[in-house]
Amino acid sequence: MSVQLAESPPSVSRPKARSPWIEVAVVGAIALFFIIVVPRVLPGFWLNSMGRFLALAIVALGIDLIWGYTGLLSLGHGVLFTLGGYALAMHLKMQIPANASSPLPEFMSLYGVEKLPWFWAPFASFPFTALAIFLIPGIVAGVLGYLIFRNRIRGVYFSILTQATTIIFFNFFNGQLKMFNGTNGLTDFKTLLGYDVNKFVPQYYFYVATVVFLVLAYGLCRWLTSGRFGRLLVAIRDDEPRMRFTGYDPTGFKVLVFAVSGALAGIAGALYTVQTGIISPGTMNIAFSIEMVIWVAVGGRATLVGAILGALVVNFAKSLLSIKFPDIWLFFQGGLFLVVVMFLPDGILGWLRTEGVNVFKALTGRRKAVTYPSLEEDADAQYERSQFKD
């Protein structure tokens, strides 16, 4: 039996990579649907809720970036989210009418403050505020990440440290009555760029801005998780010691991705604040940070789309159940989390990609998908076999 190279081109070719423009077109179409169609269908209350939930989906993307792809479970993203919210809220509180009795935000006058704190003054500028919304949370995340990662702290110890950071910030902001109005937070916003933020038209523009920023955040995360950089993030998640052995220092990659995730959380916090009308230390508590992680787990880790889906599904379910069953809705929420952990470990999207496909094919009478194809069905095996002939 002789083995010789095939002279004719193989009849079986390698699967072609999916064009990125298809994904761009799909994302663009979905964004247009949310901008044009959804506002015509949903009433005012639910449209405002949709805007807030889409803002929460942005922070969910950041968590999926560091947890799903890099393996860093942060339990302190509520802090970064709230810092972005406070940055915009401080600018909104600085929009004081010319005929006001005091040149200070009203809560400062109530507590006897006579001079504006020095760090409040720059927030009178909208360009400065626009930068601070993502730079402050991003820098805080970057500095914290560098201090942690340079000492090779990871796993559960990283989660504990981020949780401890949450407690520190929560207690600090709670105790600052004169500077941040303490537990009451900042509220009663009036104008932004001269427009009344409480009117329908500005709120619609905030909703549109949220959709646009969500698309941009998805594009950024999709770009970071693709190609060589994305493979390095997965390598950090799966086997960081081996990555170090191959000559890479994971510290810089982890600091960068944690800072990007923090910046996304800050943007989400600002968009959420202007549509909610309040920001307080309550969003810094540990429970809210854990809830953010649950959104990603429900939707599906390391999918990006799953993070968005999980944030929308959980928060809409939370709103609907709290309205229909105000006394027992927390039991439904707990039951949802148990179902996901026990029966959908890969989240909703993970189930749809595996068992969901098989269920659909069974209902339509088609053959189930083969997760691990045999050599007779594997396209790569057929391609290699076609290179040789007896």
- Dump pLDDT digits (tens) for 338-367: 877 787 788 888 888 777 767 666 667 666
Residue 15 has pLDDT above 50, yes or no: no
What is the structure's pLDDT at 251? Answer: 94
Strands (E), the chain: 4-5, 186-187, 191-192, 195-196, 278-279, 388-389
- Calculate mean pLDDT across residues 203-232: 95
pLDDT tens-digit profile of 291-301?
999 999 999 99
Q: What pLDDT score does 326 carry?
A: 77
198 φ, ψ to 5°?
-90, -5
Report yes or no: 44 and 226 within 8 Å, Cβ to Cβ. no
What distance in Å separates the CA atoms of residue 84 and residue 237, rounded to the nearest whole number? 28
What pLDDT score was predicted for residue 82? 97
Q: Where are the chain's structural domains?
A: 17-327, 346-390
Neighbour-count burial for 348-367, b at 16+ CB within 10 Å, e otherwise: bbbbbeeeeeeeeeeeeeee
Task: Please say if the pLDDT value at position 322 is more than 80.
Answer: yes
**Residue-level pLDDT at 44:** 86
Q: Calculate mean pLDDT across residues 86-104.
A: 87
Supply the pTM of this predicted model.
Answer: 0.87
- The pLDDT of residue 369 is 54
> Number of H helices and number of E strands within the chain?
17, 6
Task: Please give the average per-residue pLDDT across 155-167, as a whole number.
Answer: 94
Distance CA 374, CA 386 (A): 16
3-state DSSP call for residue 304?
A: coil
